[in-house]
Structure 1
Amino acid sequence: MEQQQPKTLWQVVKGYFNVMPDKENEADTVSQISSGVTFHGANLWVLIFAIFIASLGLNVNSTAVIIGAMLISPLMGPIIGMGLAVGISDLELLKRSAKNYLVATVISVLTATVYFLLTPLNEAQSELLARTSPTLYDVLIALCGGAAGILALSTKGKGNVIPGVAIATALMPPLCTAGYGLAMGKASFFFGAFYLFFINTVFISLATYLGVRMMHFRRKQFVNAERLKVVNRYILGVVVLTMLPAGYMTVGIIGKSVTENNIRKFVKNECSFPGTQIISQSTNEKSKTLNLVAVGKSISSQQISRARTMMGEYQLDDYRLNIIQGSQSDSILLSQALASANTTTEASKQKMVEQSARIQELEKRLEGYELYASLGAEIGKETRTVWPGVTAVSVSRVADWKTDTTKASHYVMAVVSTQRVLSASERARMQSWLKERTHADSLRLIVTR
């Protein structure tokens, strides 16, 4: 009996990744995908309702509703059909898939446009805005999703792959966002979202084509070879042209992310000052300015100069550091809060204005208390000149609460220490002089020995 040769490492690894033993009947797979290509009757109504559900989800910013719409959407049918048609050289299936794909796309965009024209909620929420700037990452998601989809359709163990592919590739939300762009007259929303949908279409079809060829699906016989070559060239051109804008956007996004990360490190390491908190940071790309809003203890010019010299260590040489602090920071923070409050009510905005006014009022009071603290040192020298027996002077602002009122009256209290007892006239003259010197409406004098 011939002894069986041991398997090489490559053969073992190849055995684990070989999908051919799990391959479903090829004719059944082609029939199943071909039957899901056509849009008419119930299939078309399901698409329309899915578009309405996705539009509602985008409108109210509900991720769960959007996912539900993606699960019931039949849009994957003609897209996978186009990839299969190219893979098995079935030009009739390709034409039928492309025609139904265009019909489904037009109906989806028109349905979403009608919804957003009728809805009273027309603010662009975060879920909607996320579908307006496609990148190279969306290309990778579509490729991986399409590959998983064709594997699931072509093999026996389908599991939950198809619903997962529908969620990951997100075909419905971009079409709804394109409809929003048409309804609101925002061209950037329409083109950005439609480009994301087109990316998903192209690369799901490409992944389907590659999967079909890797699983050795039989090509259709009696095909026009020259016509097939032309179709393949067109497909290659579409793939390349689709990737170029996405690649350009991705490079810009990566560069922006690196800069934002460097700014966060710079602020954390070089702009942490005792008693001061950086509560807002922003950049102006036109003027290349890094704006930081600080509250708390004032940052000295020496500290700011040192921070500016360290910007080069974080690849921020072309940025100029601008630190906004003190009373100026309050107005900046208020304007930022109002600018970002697009979805807040007028009552909320009015409350922000009132809170800002209250903060400014409290800051003025604090300045008053600090003023008397520094004024005491100046007055002490002058008082000792006029009254040589004076050894110490303390000046402060005092709140006097009466038992029969809810409002406090304020006055200035001066405590003077002397080496001898002052006469009544001297006390009166000292009190009058201190009142004028501190510009106080009311001053109380206490003399101690």
Structure 2
Amino acid sequence: MNAPHTPPPPPPAPSLRTAIAHRFSLLDDKANDDEIDRSLRAGVELRGATPWILMFAIVIASVGLNTNSNAVIIGAMLVSPLMGPIVGLGYGIGIFDFALVRRSVANLAIAAGISLLTSTLYFMLTPLDEAQSELLARTTPSLWDVLIALAGGLAGIIGQTRREKSNVIPGVAIATALMPPLCTAGYGLANGNWSVFGGAFYLFSINCVFIAFAAVVVIEFLRLPHRKFIDPRRGRRVKGTLLFIVLATGLPSIYLAARLVDNEVFKSRARDFVRKEFKAASVHVLDTRLVPATREIEVTLIGQRLPAPVIKAIEGRMADAGLTKARLLVHQAQPEDRRDDSKLDVGSLKAEILADIVRNNQQALQERDATIAALRQQLTGQEGWVELAAAVTREFEAHYPQCGNVLMGKAATPAQGATVAVPFLSANCRRLPGSEENKRITEWLKVRTGQADVRVVLAAKRGKIIRQSDR
């Protein structure tokens, strides 16, 4: 009699650690090593249509920054091909392929040069020369930009090494914002503003360095095939150099981030302090100006005048509000009668308002004076021209008595895309001068008017023009 069949025992349940490791594994859906190599190397090249796409993307981003349009800026970042050389640089360092590193650096430098040239030309030609908020936001990089570049670079290189491609790269291009800093640097060059250029180009450098560094980290983690050094010390020098570049790029951003946080904390504390201390019903805060660099709090008040001891007491409470090194400046209208502080000097307030109006109109007055001077100069030149035309007419009639109805004036004519005024002399003659004589008349008119471009039009008595001088 056969024994009953016993099913095999179920496999043991995976441990929690194994389940978590499998869940977060970067090796399960990794693409083939050769496919990764081909993809990353192909993205490095900058030829054919790629430079044109880059220039058009730069123009789009420059227009977006110039008009403060977020949608246009995002569209330019989606079009931008700048990610390829940066990721290729990190890949080359990660596998110790220095030929690829040199090619990536060269293409990245060419791309940055094209971008700077295109954006500089745009901002030199655009009539909108005011720096908008979207443009100014790219001039003060900080530690948060480092974190964005690092996280974006990690996401980008992980997405590029998968079998199934996703929309990671466009998202990384938007998050890390490679295009706007280069456009902002071009704005700085076009306007000679070196602080704007330096801040924007530093932000672009942060993005490049930390995206490439993230690529090196992921390539090392995925254990992609890389070259071996015969001398192990050279490999250590390469890694040490990479670490030095990363630290040299990132450390200034820590200082800038600390200063940004300190300024924001100062502004928040100062606003709360002013709101708390100047909340009396008889006093109204007209304006508050905060200067974090000098730690100044400037307050303009209207209403009942606060006595000096009250202001002194308010200053004494600044330390308790975390404003130890701050300086308080209070502006108030002077009272008409110092024995009655509740009485406001309306005349003094009117004088202050009038002074503000005068200061604001100074530029308009200067422009008006410049316009009057230009019109006077134009009128003087016109009077001189009338006298010259009369003298030239008399001289021509004296030399050529057979000609009458002599006219001397200026005619508008197009020249190289612009309209210029050309002197001309016309007359009706019973007997027309010959060709050589007509040339002498033209040269004489050039000397008398002091201009190289003149017209001489001589017509027969019946009115048909039969000869016209060359220019």
Whether TM exceeds 0.5 here: the answer is yes
Post-superposition shift, 1:109?
Answer: 0.7
Among candidates 133, 136, 148, match of residue 140 of structure 2 = 133
Post-superposition shift, 1:230?
Answer: 3.4
Alignment CA distance shift 1:32-1:329 (3 Å): farther
Post-superposition shift, 1:182?
Answer: 1.2
Post-superposition shift, 1:33?
Answer: 1.4
Q: How does 1:27-426 map to 2 (within 5 A)?
A: 27-220=34-227, 227-284=234-291, 288-301=295-308, 303-326=310-333, 331=352
Which string of whole-angstrom CA distances, capped at 9 and with x for unpartnered residues, describes residues 256-294 of structure 1?
122112112212323222243324322346764311123
Stretch moving more, 89-98 or 326-335: 326-335
Give the match for residue 26 of structure 2: 19
C-alpha contact 1:273 1:299 (8 A) present in aligned 2: no
Q: Percent identity?
A: 42
How far apart, in 2, do the equivalents of 1:277 and 1:54 lie? Answer: 44
Give the match for residue 392 of structure 2: none
C-alpha contact 2:267 2:292 (8 A) present in aligned 1: no
Which string of whole-angstrom CA distances, capped at 9 and with x for unpartnered residues, describes residues 194-236 of structure 1?
1110010000000111111122222246777554443323222
Alignment CA distance shift 1:268-1:334 (3 Å): farther
Which string of whole-angstrom CA distances, capped at 9 and with x for unpartnered residues, describes residues 355-407 of structure 1?
xxxxxxxxxxxxxxxxxxxxxxxxxxxxxxxxxxxxxxxxxxxxxxxxxxxxx
Post-superposition shift, 1:13?
Answer: 2.6
Amino acid at match of 2:100: L
C-alpha contact 1:89 1:223 (8 A) present in aligned 2: no
C-alpha contact 1:175 1:193 (8 A) present in aligned 2: yes
Count the aligned residue pairs.
341
How far apart, in 2, do the equivalents of 1:301 and 1:248 lie? Answer: 39
Give the TM-score of the pair, scaled to structure 1.
0.70
How far apart, in 2, do the equivalents of 1:278 and 1:66 lie? Answer: 39
Amino acid at match of 1:110: L
C-alpha contact 1:48 1:111 (8 A) present in aligned 2: yes
C-alpha contact 1:271 1:307 (8 A) present in aligned 2: no
How far apart, in 2, do the equivalents of 1:252 and 1:7 lie? Answer: 50
Stretch moving more, 268-277 or 67-76: 268-277
Post-superposition shift, 1:96?
Answer: 1.1
Post-superposition shift, 1:119?
Answer: 1.6
1:37 aligns to what SS in structure 2? coil
Amino acid at match of 1:54: A
Alignment CA distance shift 1:169-1:332 (3 Å): farther
Post-superposition shift, 1:295?
Answer: 3.3
Which string of whole-angstrom CA distances, capped at 9 and with x for unpartnered residues, describes residues 330-369 of structure 1?
9599969x99xxxxx97xxxxxxxxxxxxxxxxxxxxxxx
Amino acid at match of 2:273: F
Give the TM-score of the pair, scaled to structure 2.
0.66
C-alpha contact 1:84 1:209 (8 A) present in aligned 2: yes
Amino acid at match of 1:107: I
How far apart, in 2, do the equivalents of 1:6 and 1:56 lie? Answer: 59
Alignment CA distance shift 1:132-1:248 (3 Å): same
1:20 aligns to what SS in structure 2? coil
1:21 aligns to what SS in structure 2? coil
How far apart, in 2, do the equivalents of 1:80 and 1:124 lie? Answer: 31
C-alpha contact 1:112 1:176 (8 A) present in aligned 2: yes
How far apart, in 2, do the equivalents of 1:184 and 1:154 lie? Answer: 42
Structure 1 gaps of 5+ residues are 340-344, 347-449
How far apart, in 2, do the equivalents of 1:280 and 1:333 lie? Answer: 18
Alignment CA distance shift 1:143-1:67 (3 Å): same
Which string of whole-angstrom CA distances, capped at 9 and with x for unpartnered residues, describes residues 18-66 of structure 1?
2221212222122111111111110110001111111111111111111
How far apart, in 1, do the equivalents of 2:312 and 2:15 lie? Answer: 66
1:159 aligns to what SS in structure 2? coil
1:291 aligns to what SS in structure 2? strand
Post-superposition shift, 1:187?
Answer: 1.1
Amino acid at match of 1:80: V
Amino acid at match of 1:166: A
How far apart, in 2, do the equivalents of 1:154 and 1:304 lie? Answer: 65
C-alpha contact 1:293 1:329 (8 A) present in aligned 2: no
Alignment CA distance shift 1:269-1:329 (3 Å): farther
How far apart, in 1, do the equivalents of 2:256 and 2:354 lie? Answer: 31
2:279 aligns to what SS in structure 1? coil
C-alpha contact 2:58 2:118 (8 A) present in aligned 1: yes
Post-superposition shift, 1:123?
Answer: 1.6
C-alpha contact 1:149 1:165 (8 A) present in aligned 2: yes
How far apart, in 2, do the equivalents of 1:143 and 1:288 lie? Answer: 34
1:22 aligns to what SS in structure 2? coil
C-alpha contact 1:295 1:329 (8 A) present in aligned 2: no
Higher relative helix content: 1
